[in-house]
Structure 1
Amino acid sequence: MGTLPVVFLMGPTAVGKSALALEIARLLPAEIVTIDSAQIYRQLDIGAAKPDAAARARCRHHLLDLRDPATPYSAAELIDDARTAIAQIRARGALPLLVGGTGLYFQALEEGFSPLPATDPHIRAELAAELARSGVVALHRRLQRLDPPTAARLHPHDAQRIQRALEVERLTGRPLSEIQRQPRLPGLTERPLKVALWPPSRAWLHARIEQRFRYMLAAGLVGEVLTLYQRRDLSPELPALRAVGYRQVWHYLTGEWSHRQMIEQALGATRQYAKRQLTWMRRHFATPALQLTADDDPMQHAAAESVVRAVERFEHA
């Protein structure tokens, strides 16, 4: 083979991306770049579905365990680190295989992105307290005064994005809409080979989500979160601990939810997250070169062979 392309492998949570990536790496000289906002944090292992030692021994992984959970890691940092990893992989003559479910990161890598400040846990905590005290409508009204274009674009009940817009204004003194009009930081200089891995049905994916979460509980997820909970420098407002699964177990440890409620809340949140991922893929993951349907083959042999053939065709296109 000549120069191998950069591959984007995207799909919803629990669809089998990691197993497929490892099988691709068995067939091609590849290294995996994890495009995941939770796996970059140390101590987030079980709940983040981080590859274990055996998987890392089979294939070199990048962007794992980069940051302590107390220190937020911005999307801009992730994109910059991903670009560095891609260059290193290409220098070794291997296939950069970018694997994840966060569509905005893939879009930023392909198209570039606006330079935004990293999150600030203290401001986040203040806004969260205000949200609990006054409600999301009050925060949206404030955003209408400070940044009318962003307020008009966001749904009045989109608490997460409203808080982020207010946080950006607090950190920079400038509205988010103004910053987003600045020249974008560059993405990749080459066209990626985009691969989408779809579930065969919603019921199939929901069953996989439940199976995986119950496996995480059996593997010690509550104990993992308890270790984080006992640290005095962590709070549920930090980006690391807002990850699906960690947030719900944290509420269980505070006594807010029973064990049964924690499971129900975690499964519900994960299903909603998967739905958002699939919606984004349909709207924005523009015409992947290869669309695959996941199945119950844990190694995804046929899908991996399809990716290899697509790499060969893409290489000579």
Structure 2
Amino acid sequence: MIPASIIITGPTASGKSDLALELAHKIDGEIVCTDSMQVYRGLDIGTAKPTKVEQLAVPHHQIDLCNLDEHYSAGQYARDAEITLNKLGEVGKIPIFVGGSGLYYKALIYGLDEMPPIPKAIRQSVLNDWKIKGFEECYQELAKCDPELAARLSPRDATRVQRGLEIFRATRERMSSFQKSKFGNQTTRFPVMIFGVHWERDALYQRINLRTEAMLKIGWMEEVKALLELYSPSLSPLNGLGYKQIISYLNGEINYNHMVEEIQQKTRNFAKRQLTWFRQEKSLKWFEINKREQVFQATEAFLSAYH
């Protein structure tokens, strides 16, 4: 049986992980990461993956699940996470979801119509189009066949743009229709309380800018170089936020300052899209990061009804 759970979400760089660690110590919880990039082995610094020290302090789940050249979907995440949650329930631990991938946690708590299997030939044809035609033309194709999905995505979001095209080409159905079929019924599959970390926009953007610089100082570029020794730069995860810009710099296509500024700008844009997505969640309770005691008190009151 899946236990009552807590979700801490919000835009990138909002301090979700630190809050989750503190809460885990208070309620004897374990952390279930809800990040579509942290599932990949090797994407560490650029995804703000929990450090080894943090993972030793509190057990973390749903990270480092696959290699960069393997496909991983929201549906797969929901299946894997449900196994984890049942195990946590058996040993009396409280699951604390933390991350900014709204589709991942919605797939788990509300359910998601199973995405159809994609023939290898179609997957390869979409990847070839991305390489040859470029992201702009692929995004325009998606905008025509699934405008609702395209409106939520960045044209450079290789993973999701390609996935949307794959599903439409394979089924002639829109990916957004699969996502929406279960989300219309906002009844959760198990008890859950959802918190959102709120920052004023200027303060959040400043945090994003500073975090980008800090990540580069602690070895993000070296991480990318090591990955390029093992994988093709055309893989979707390496077209993710920040990784694509670093690869462009390493290839001599842009200078260092341009790279930093573009990562910061793209990350700010990403945070804005995340906030748009989270506002669809009517049961989400927003709070200021400096008022975390409110979260602790609300969590204790919520859990008391189930323990």
1:206-261 Cα deviation digits (max 9, x unpaired): 11111111111110111100111222x4233x332232111111111121111111
Instruction: Give, in angstroms, the shift of residue 122 of structure 1.
Output: 3.0
Distance 1:123 1:242 in 2: 18
Q: Is the Cα–Cα contact under 8 Å of residues 21 and 32 in structure 1 kept in the other structure?
A: yes
| AA aligned opposite 2:249 | Y
Q: Which of 98, 122, 125 in structure 2 is aligned with 1:123? A: 125
| AA aligned opposite 2:283 | T
Instruction: Report which stretch shifted further, 114-123 or 261-270.
Output: 114-123
RMSD of Structure 2 on Structure 1 (CA):
3.1
Structure-1 residue corresponding to 2:283: 287
Mapping of residues 131-280 of structure 1, within 5 Å:
131-132=133-134, 135=137, 139=141, 150-151=146-147, 154=150, 159=155, 163-170=162-169, 172-176=170-174, 180=178, 189-199=189-199, 201-231=200-230, 233-236=231-234, 238-280=235-277
* TM-score, L = length of structure 2: 0.85
Quick one: higher RCO (CA 8 Å, sep 6+), 1 or 2? 1
* TM-score, L = length of structure 1: 0.82
CA pair 272-293 structure 1, distance change in 2 beyond 3 A: same
Distance 2:22 2:211 in 1: 20
Q: Is the Cα–Cα contact under 8 Å of residues 241 and 266 in structure 2 kept in the other structure?
A: yes
Report SS of the residue matched to 1:196: strand
Q: How many residues align?
A: 296
Instruction: Give, in angstroms, the shift of residue 42 of structure 1.
Output: 0.9
Distance 1:153 1:74 in 2: 16
Report SS of the residue matched to 2:264: helix
Unaligned runs of 5+ in 2: none
Structure-2 residue corresponding to 1:70: 69
Q: Is the Cα–Cα contact under 8 Å of residues 18 and 99 in structure 1 kept in the other structure?
A: yes
Structure-2 residue corresponding to 1:299: none
Instruction: Give, in angstroms, the shift of residue 153 of structure 1.
Output: 7.2
Unaligned runs of 5+ in 1: 296-301
CA pair 66-165 structure 1, distance change in 2 beyond 3 A: closer
CA pair 25-42 structure 1, distance change in 2 beyond 3 A: same
| AA aligned opposite 1:165 | G
Report SS of the residue matched to 2:67: coil
| AA aligned opposite 1:273 | F
| AA aligned opposite 2:141 | L
CA pair 158-35 structure 1, distance change in 2 beyond 3 A: closer
Q: Is the Cα–Cα contact under 8 Å of residues 24 and 30 in structure 2 kept in the other structure?
A: yes
Q: Which has the larger radius of gyration?
A: 1
1:234-289 Cα deviation digits (max 9, x unpaired): 233x332232111111111121111111101100100000011112222x12132x
Structure-2 residue corresponding to 1:298: none
| AA aligned opposite 1:175 | E
Report SS of the residue matched to 1:22: helix
Instruction: Give, in angstroms, the shift of residue 133 of structure 1.
Output: 9.2
Instruction: Give, in angstroms, the shift of residue 73 of structure 1.
Output: 1.2
Report SS of the residue matched to 1:135: helix
Report SS of the residue matched to 2:134: helix
Distance 1:246 1:117 in 2: 29
CA pair 52-152 structure 1, distance change in 2 beyond 3 A: closer
Q: Is the Cα–Cα contact under 8 Å of residues 11 and 196 in structure 1 kept in the other structure?
A: yes
Q: Is the Cα–Cα contact under 8 Å of residues 7 and 98 in structure 2 kept in the other structure?
A: yes
CA pair 158-313 structure 1, distance change in 2 beyond 3 A: closer
Distance 1:241 1:133 in 2: 14
Distance 1:226 1:83 in 2: 35
